[in-house]
Amino acid sequence: MYKLTWPNRITILRILLTAPFVVALLHLQDAQWGEVARRLAVAVFLIMAISDGLDGYLARRLKQESAAGRFLDPLADKLLILLSVLLLGHEGTHVVGAMLPATVAVIAIGKDLVVILGFCIIYFTTSRLYIEPCRLGKWCTTFQLLMVIAILISPELPAWLSRLPKVLWWSASALACAAAVHYFQRGRRFLAQYEQANSIQAPRK
């Protein structure tokens, strides 16, 4: 029987915290509760960010790294980013003065679709779970998360930092495009190596 480790429990908690985060974003345009909702979203986001670092630290420190953790951790990030870009780029749920452009949302979602599609193709072709994060993908995720928090706190940013959200969302978009290409090439190489290994091992008639 699989025993749930503390790092995995923290990751699952991070996934569950997505619900109150989304509820807060849905009320950003509320005339009475909009400001409270935005601050609540910032607080929940910071808790999720801290837990993201904590589960990785505990997994390494306690030597409890697992296949479930390698799957759940990026899933939590992708879920948070997907819901964030959808809501922060929508007319009815965006932060006033910092509405995320549709192009940025499409690029962010498109990158994750490439990764998910590649994951499915590799699994159904090889019957293997191929999860191998790369540094470029991690940088992309980091910039996307910084983009989300910068948008949420944009009303409090000083004038000299007013362009920070825009800088971050276009930087995150550039990294997302580069990461999508990198993951595509890596998946193609993995499939080529798999087919080559199978052809060598196949018995000759």
The whole-angstrom separation of Cα 7 and Cα 13 is: 10
Domain positions in the chain are 6-201
- Report residues of the chain scoring pLDDT below 70: 1-2, 201-205
Whole-model pTM?
0.89
DSSP character for 94? Answer: S
> Residue 169 is inside which H or E element, if any?
helix 164-201
Q: With b meaning 16 or more CB within 10 Å and e meaning fewer, what string describes 107-129?
A: bbbebbebbeebbeebeeeeeee
Q: Which fold has domain 6-201?
A: Four Helix Bundle (Hemerythrin (Met), subunit A) (1.20.120)
Query: What is the tens place of the pLDDT at every residue in 14-65?
Result: 999 999 999 999 999 998 889 999 999 999 999 998 998 888 888 888 888 8
The torsion angle over the Cα atoms of residues 109, 113, 116 and 118, rounded to 10 degrees, is: -140
